[in-house]
Structure 1
Amino acid sequence: MNVRRWYIPIAVGWTVLVAVLVVVAPVPLLDRLPDPLAIHWGLSGRPDGASPYWLNALVMVLLWLVIAGLPLYRLIRGDALRRRHDRRWMCAVLAGGGVFVLALQTMTILANLDRTDWRDAAPVGPGTLLAVFGVSALAGAIGWALARPGPDEEPPASGRRPPRPLRTLRSGERAVWVSSATAGWAVTAGSGLLLLAVLLGVLPPLETEHRIVLAVSTGVSAVAALALSGVRVQVNARGLAVAFGPLRWPVRRIPLDRIDRAFVDRRWPADVGGWGYRVRPGSSTVMIRGGECLVVRYGSGRELAISVDDAERGAALLNSLVAERDNDRS
C-alpha cells in the first residue's frame, strides 16, 4: 500500500482549507462586528487589545502557516512517510494546530458578535481557553490515530557502517572535505516567525508593552529556528569544524587530537529526541534531517553525530587523517 498517495493530498487540502476558513468564514458576519474588533483579553478576562479584521485574519493565517510548515514539508518530502511514528506526529500537529487556529478565530468572532465597540466584547475566561486547548488536543489525538495505517519503510541497509578507505595521502599532500545540510522546514518556520515578529512590532492597534513582548519573544524563536536550519561541516588536517545557520555562525571546532575514529550511521529525530542540537548520555547530535549522519568518536568514548550529506567521504577522510597522525607519533 502506497500511503504517500493519500497522506499528501489530505495534508495539503487541510492546510488550504484551514487558511481559507480563517479568512472567509467570518466575512458574512462583518456587518455584525465592531471595527476594530477585540483580539486580546487580559488576565481579568476583559478585552484589552483590538485590531482591524483583515489584520487579525492575516496574523492568524501566518500563525497557521508557521504551525503547518514543518509537518507539511516533511510529508511532501517523504521522510515522515517512511516511519509510522514520524507520520503520526506530523498528522497530529496538522490536525491539532488547524483546529487550534480555527477555535481561536471562532472564539474571537463570537466574543465580538453584535457588539458596537470592541471594549464591550464578551469576556474570555479560563473555561473558554481550556475549551480551545481541549478541542485542539482532541483533534491532535484523532490525527495521531488516523495516521496509523501503513508500515514502516526502513531502508534495507540501515545502521552503522565503516566508510570506504581513502588512498594514503602523499607527503605534503593535504585534503579537505566540505559538506552541508539544510532543513527547509526550519528556514520556512524561522522566516515566518521573523515576519510575524516584524508585523507584531509595528501593529498600531496593540498596546506598546504587549507589542514589545510579543515581538521580542517571536523574534527570539525566529533566530533560534534559523540558527538550527542548516549546518556546514569541514574536515581538514586540523580536525573537524561545524558551522551553524545561514550565517555559518557559531562554529564548533574539534581538534584532530581529540578524535579516535569516524563512521557513518543512519539516525532519525525520533531516535535522538527531536531536531536541533540534542545532548544525551555519551553522545551529542546535530539533527538537521533524518538519515545518514557523520559520527565522530572521541578518545574519551563520547560521540558527536551530525546529519550531513556525503557523510561517508567525510568519515573516510577523518580516518585517514587519524591514521596519518598515529603513524607520525609511532
Structure 2
Amino acid sequence: MSHERPDPAVRRFALVTIVLPAVVTTVGLVVQLASLPQAPARIPPFWDSSGAPSGWEPAWLPLALTIVLGFGLPAVFGLSSLPSLRRGDRSPTFRIFGAQALAISVLLTVVVTSLLLQSLGTATEAGNRLWHLLLAGLAAAVPAAALGWLLQPKGSPPMPAPAASAIDLAPGERAAWMRTTSLPIPAVAVITAAAVIMALKAGLTWALGDRAGSAALLTAIAVALLALLAATAAFHVRIDAHGLSVRSMLGVPRFHVALHEVDSVTVIDARSLGVPGSWGIRIRRDRTTIIMRPTMGIRVTRQDGRSLFLTVDDAATGAALLQALAAQAPRPTDNPSTHQ
C-alpha cells in the first residue's frame, strides 16, 4: 500500500507558516517562563520621554499575548490557505502569506519576550523604551520574512474563471438567489481574542485606579475591535429583481448594484486580483472589493466602469442569475445632456 507524499509546495508552506512560527513562539515561551519567577508582579509596558514607566501590567500578560498571537496569527494564515494549496492552487500570494506569518511570529515573540526580560533589572534606562523593543523585533522579523520567502517555491498566477453564462429565464419569470459569506473561524477567533485581551486590560486598569486616560483608550480599542468584527464578520448576499445587494449582518456597511447599472458579470478567483491580505473590505474610487475567503467570487462591473467584487459560495450560480436578470431589466433613457 503506497502513500502519496504531500506536494513540496504544500510541505514548504506548512513549514514556513505553521511549523517555524510554532518553534519560534515555543522558544519565546520557554524564555518567558524561565524569567517569570524573577520578574516583579507588575511590569511597565510603556515609558514616557524621561524614561520613567507610564503604566503597569501583570507579569503574565506577555505569556498570554505570546500564546494567543504567536500561535493564533500564523495558524490563521496557514489553515485558511492549505486547502487551496492541496487543490493545486499555486498563486504567488501564498508565498507572501508564508513570509508574513513567520515574520509576524518573530516580531511578536521578540518584542513581547523583551518586554518581560527588561523588567528583571538588567536593562539600562535608555533601553527601557518601547520603540527600542520594536526596532529589535523588526531587525529580527525582516530576515525571517526573507527566509520564509526563500524557503518556498515560486508560484504561478491562477487561471481566471470563465465569464458567467446567463440562466434561461422566461419573460416575467421571477427568481432570487441568497447566500451568506463569512470570515473563517480562525480569523474571527483571533479578532475576538484581541478584543477580549483589550477588554481585560481595560477592566484591570480601571480596577487598579491607574490613569483614566489609559483605561479609556483600552476600552475604546476593545469596543472598536468588537464593532469591526460585528460589521465585517459576515455578509448577506441577495440577487433578485432589485439587483445585487450585499449587507453586513450588523446592517452596515451595505452595498447595492441595480440591474440597470450592470454592464458585465464575471466569476473570478480572489487570488487573481493581486490584492494583499486574506480578508477585508477595500473601497477605492473605481472599485469595491469584499474578500471573506481566498476563493471564487462575483465581480459586477457597472455601466460607468465601477466594479464590486465579493467572495461567496456558489458564485457561478449567483453570477448567472444576475446576468440573466440584468439582460431582462429595462434600461433608463439616456439624458442627452450627459453626453455633452
TM-score normalised to structure 2 length: 0.79
Taking the aligned partners of 1:36 and 1:299, their CA distance within structure 2 comes to: 61
Question: Contact (CA 8 Å) 2:99, 2:146: kept in 1 or not?
Answer: yes
Taking the aligned partners of 1:90 and 1:327, their CA distance within structure 2 comes to: 44
- Residue equivalent to 1:51: 57
* Match of residue 22, structure 2, among 11, 16, 19: 16
**Quick one: which amino acid aligns to residue 189 of structure 1?**
V
Deviation at 1:237, TM superposition (A): 0.9
Taking the aligned partners of 1:60 and 1:93, their CA distance within structure 2 comes to: 17
Taking the aligned partners of 2:62 and 2:195, their CA distance within structure 1 comes to: 17
Given the alignment of the two structures, is residue 234 of structure 1 paired with residue 241 of structure 2, yes or no? no
String of CA shifts for 1:184-220, please: whole Å, max 9, x gaps: 1532332222222222221246643223223423542
Taking the aligned partners of 1:280 and 1:299, their CA distance within structure 2 comes to: 17
String of CA shifts for 1:234-269, please: whole Å, max 9, x gaps: 01111111012x435432222222223423223327
Identify unmatched segments of 5+ residues in structure 2: 1-6, 334-340
Within-5 A mapping of 1:140-219: 140-147=145-152, 149-152=153-156, 154=158, 158-169=159-170, 171=172, 173-184=173-184, 185-204=186-205, 207-219=211-223
Deviation at 1:79, TM superposition (A): 4.9
Deviation at 1:85, TM superposition (A): 2.7
**Quick one: which amino acid aligns to residue 195 of structure 1?**
V
Within-5 A mapping of 1:94-113: 94-113=101-120
Taking the aligned partners of 1:9 and 1:125, their CA distance within structure 2 comes to: 31
Counterpart secondary structure, 1:41? coil
% identical equivalent positions: 23
Question: Contact (CA 8 Å) 1:193, 1:219: kept in 2 or not?
Answer: no
What is the total number of aligned residue pairs between the two structures? 320
Question: Contact (CA 8 Å) 2:301, 2:308: kept in 1 or not?
Answer: yes
Given the alignment of the two structures, is residue 25 of structure 1 paired with residue 7 of structure 2, yes or no? no
**Quick one: which amino acid aligns to residue 134 of structure 1?**
A
- Residue equivalent to 2:287: 283
String of CA shifts for 1:164-199, please: whole Å, max 9, x gaps: 33222354x421111232221532332222222222
Aligned alpha-carbon RMSD (Å): 3.3
CA pair 176-162 structure 1, distance change in 2 beyond 3 A: same
Greater mean alpha carbon deviation, residues 274-283 or residues 133-142: 274-283
Taking the aligned partners of 1:327 and 1:233, their CA distance within structure 2 comes to: 23
* Match of residue 293, structure 1, among 272, 293, 297: 297
CA pair 2-230 structure 1, distance change in 2 beyond 3 A: farther
Question: Contact (CA 8 Å) 1:268, 1:289: kept in 2 or not?
Answer: no
Question: Contact (CA 8 Å) 1:261, 1:297: kept in 2 or not?
Answer: yes
**Quick one: which amino acid aligns to residue 163 of structure 2?**
P
Taking the aligned partners of 1:129 and 1:190, their CA distance within structure 2 comes to: 22
Runs of 4+ in 1 over 6 A off after TM superposition: none
CA pair 63-207 structure 1, distance change in 2 beyond 3 A: farther
**Quick one: which amino acid aligns to residue 77 of structure 2?**
P
